[in-house]
Chains A and B, each alone.
Chain A
Amino acid sequence: MTAKLKAIPISAWLGLIIVTLNLFVFILGPMLAPYGQNEIVGAPFDPPSAQFWFGLDQNGRDMFSRLLAGAQMSIGVSLAASLISFCIGIPLGFIAALFGGWVDTVLSRIVDTVMCIPVLISALVVLQALGSSVPVLIFTIALLDSTRVFRLARVVAQGISVLEYAETARLRGESLFWLITREILPNALPPLIAEFGMRFCFTFLFVAGLSFLGLGIQPPFADWGGMVKDNQQAILYGLYAPLFPAAAIALLTIGVNLVVDWLLNSGAAVQGADR
């Protein structure tokens, strides 16, 4: 075990530490925050001090507390969207791979068409029609992103379903459910876990981007993308206010990317994922 731990490169350690720290803030954030997320504690854009570590925002609220509280929305929405997109993409991808024929053709063509439109543009069209709210955000992003998951799950399952053990199970007369849950899923997990990291990065940046555009998570909830937007003007006066939430977004993305890079390079994830 220690040998295995030693084999983890420094960059991956750094990534793991960043991700753990963020999860910690995600779960405990509001409890750790010294002030309420909408509590006005001083003058707008007060600079960082011993009392307010990251200074105050455009309304005089404590930046540090809002960052801690905002983790819940920023990370929560993207985590929910990624989880749902995997719950949609993986079963459909496996079914397309196992059934083949017209099921595969129909599903693949639909996915190809959706993927022909840039995700941001599709999301904007849906947000125009339905307006922006947390459930709409989560389901729109999950649906759009499930196309990518579908593609990967399909390729991986196709690779596994022709291997001997899957063939044997089929000849034994095992049901489709058994095939998917006992033969394909366990063997498809390593590439899918790496993909989950990448998809989470993407949805996280995407949610933050939409919030930065004013179309994502709406006030009064604090969220990192929206905080960048709200404090953006301060940069013109040489104040660092919008850089704190932007750096928080960048830091988590780098952390997840470092972990994913290590997973992909460690060889654990290559099986079946021929891309």
Chain B
Amino acid sequence: MIELILKRVALGILTLLLVSALIFAGTQLLPGDVASAILGQNATPQSLAALRQDLGLDLPAWQRYLTWLQGFATGDLGMSLANRQPVADLLWPRFGNTMALAAYAAIVSVPIAVLLGLAAAVRRGGIFDRGINIVALAFVSLPEYFLGLLLILFLSVQFNLLPSLADTYAGMSFPDWLRATTLPALTLVLVTVAQMMRMTRTAVLSVMDQAYVETAFLKGLRTKRVVLRHALPNAAAPIVNVVAFNIAYLITGVVLVEAIFNYNGLGRFMVDAVAKRDLPLVQAAAMVFGAAYVILNSIADIAAIALNPRLRHPR
């Protein structure tokens, strides 16, 4: 088992490297180069050459990639082209904000979704199962901004319960922060609960169809015992995967939600950088999002290995 986990960690690191290479390659698609994009009409051959040297653009691509990677490893993410500030200073606080919002949403949505999924699977085909499935299908189809706007309209404009803009600042008290971020978090919860619940239900059902679960029922055991003692330990690994998949979704789902509620997170930051075509910012933000995604998936796989009863008790 330890060997399996180590293998998974190594694979994760390899994936991270490949992801970084792909992101770097993606940012090099621009015909011409960044220097001419910055200088635009005012470019003279001298100023272009000077800026290229300044930005290290005179080096071959693979050397620039290595320099960039090295910078990333040492915490130096380069300078923003738009306002000439270090990317790291701009990026990390916003990344913290995004993670806080995603964590808030995850803490609420994961338990609700797993419980609902379990309940639906146990009562397969019943009224509860069918009803909740239709509701979930509807919520899965709704775009985040539709839900977000409805929440603003009802909870903030008509009943004035919560602020419509997620204004947060450093040194804000925790209750104030909760109040400000509840609407965006609620939007994320509504979208992810539906998705996660459907996937949990499928994962549990595939275990419930196994012969040993039927045997357990035929032995005359009670439903509760069969589900908790026989089905759940074997469904744990797939459920962990479902949860990780959805938390990974949360990380990019926040991009839209941040735009709706004007939340000062990494997603909105990256969208602004794309609009301004600020290369170092986009590169760094993409790498941080990509890394978070890869690391989450690796953790999920490792948890699944650790939770698998067959691997825990080798025969």
Q: Which residues of A pack against B, CB within 8 Å?
A: 11, 113-114, 116-122, 124-131, 201, 205, 208-209, 212-215, 228, 232, 235-238, 240, 242-243, 246-247, 249-250, 253-254, 257-258, 261
Contact = CB atoms under 8 A, between A and B. Distances in A.
A235 B153 contact: yes
Contacts of B141: 201, 250, 253-254, 257
A159 to B, nearest CB: 18
Report which residue of A213, A238, A243 has the largest number of chain B beta carbons within 10 angstroms of its beta carbon. A213
Given A243-B146, A254-B141, A213 B157 contact: no
B27 A235 contact: no
Contacts of A249: 143, 146
Question: Main SS of chain B's interface residues?
Answer: helix
Contacts of A258: 137
Contact of B143 (A11, A113, A238, A246): A246
Interface of B: 15, 18-19, 22-23, 26-30, 134, 137-138, 140-146, 149-150, 152-153, 157-158, 164, 248, 251-252, 255-256, 259-260, 270-271, 273-275, 277-279, 282-283, 286, 289-290, 293-294, 297
A213 B22 contact: no
Nearest to A117: B290
- Chain A interface main SS type: helix
B286 A116 contact: no
Given A128-B277, A131-B277, A235-B152, A121 B252 contact: yes
Contacts, number: 137
A249 B141 CA distance: 9
18 contacts: A117-B289, A118-B251, A122-B26, A126-B26, A130-B30, A131-B277, A209-B144, A209-B256, A232-B149, A232-B260, A235-B152, A235-B164, A238-B158, A246-B149, A254-B141, A257-B141, A258-B137, A261-B137
A116 B18 CA distance: 9
B282 A124 contact: yes
B256 A116 contact: no
Contacts of A119: 252
Nearest to B282: A128
A11 B164 CA distance: 35
